[in-house]
Amino acid sequence: MSVHVFMGMSLPQEEAMKVLPAIYHPPIRRGDIPQLPEDVTLVGIIDGVFLSESSVGHREILTLIKKGITVVGGGSMGALRAMELEDAGMIGVGRIFKMYRDGVIEGDDEVALVFDPDDLTALSEPLVNMRHFLAEAVRRGVIGQEEADMIIAEMKSLYYPRRSYHELLKSASKIVDEVTLLALKKMLDSESFDLKRMDALEVLNTLKRLHHSSGKGRKKPI
């Protein structure tokens, strides 16, 4: 009985292991699923390869589900595939999954980013994180909804490797007054608005609950 998680940029593996001591793999790509061992019982998909290489196929995930293996997705590629395969039995969790499912966002560029292949450090900012940041700024009364929408439109127009909070603030400087701009900078300097990280943790906690419930009465390692 084993739990396997595909993850990369959304959460450091050291932190993930404290939540769920599973078997961790790099961001999922086409061809990874057939390599999983026969004893796999739970699979979590968080991060995956977009655009530059072949992304994980729907049929690969469906093969797992048809075998009775539970697949949980959220955070990034996992959220997108979970939205597409929810009716087939894939479990989606987290706010990003719900945003895809409810039509608030669409397209893989919402969660895509560029990263260092050696240490998986993010080199750009996912648009969903920027949406989360600006939504919180609106909720706090720092910025108006119309202004936030204008900034998001500017970020959406940028090719995803160029998206960063530096670019967001540069766009904001053309839309909001100096007081508002300083308030936005203060928020970014003092807090984290990493929605992908939050959702990655939700995937891990969901897998943990599922593993615990399926293993009651049995003493088997993950």
Residues with Cβ < 8 Å from 127, sequence gap 6 or more?
105, 109, 110, 111, 152, 155, 156, 160, 163
Residues of the chain with pLDDT under 50: 217-222
H helices of 20-111, in order, are 58-66, 77-85, 95-101
> What is the model's pLDDT at position 119?
78
pLDDT at 127: 97
CA distances from 106 to 50, 73, 160, 182 (A): 14, 16, 14, 31
Q: Tell me how many helices (H) and strands (E) the chain has.
A: 9, 5
pLDDT the model gives residue 86: 97
Q: HSE (CB half, 13 Å, CA atoms) of 52?
A: 11
**pLDDT score, position 52:** 55
**C-beta separation of 107 from 162 below 8 A:** no
Element (H, E) at 176: none
> Distance (Å, rounded) from C-alpha 44 to C-alpha 172?
37
Q: What angle do CA 199, 128, 116 make, to 5 degrees?
A: 80
**What does the pLDDT read at residue 219?**
41
pLDDT at 109: 92
DSSP 8-class letter at 54: P
CA angle 157, 6, 86 (to 5 degrees): 70
pLDDT at 118: 80
Location of structure tokens 């997705």 = 73
Predicted confidence at residue 51, as pLDDT, reads 65
pLDDT at 137: 98
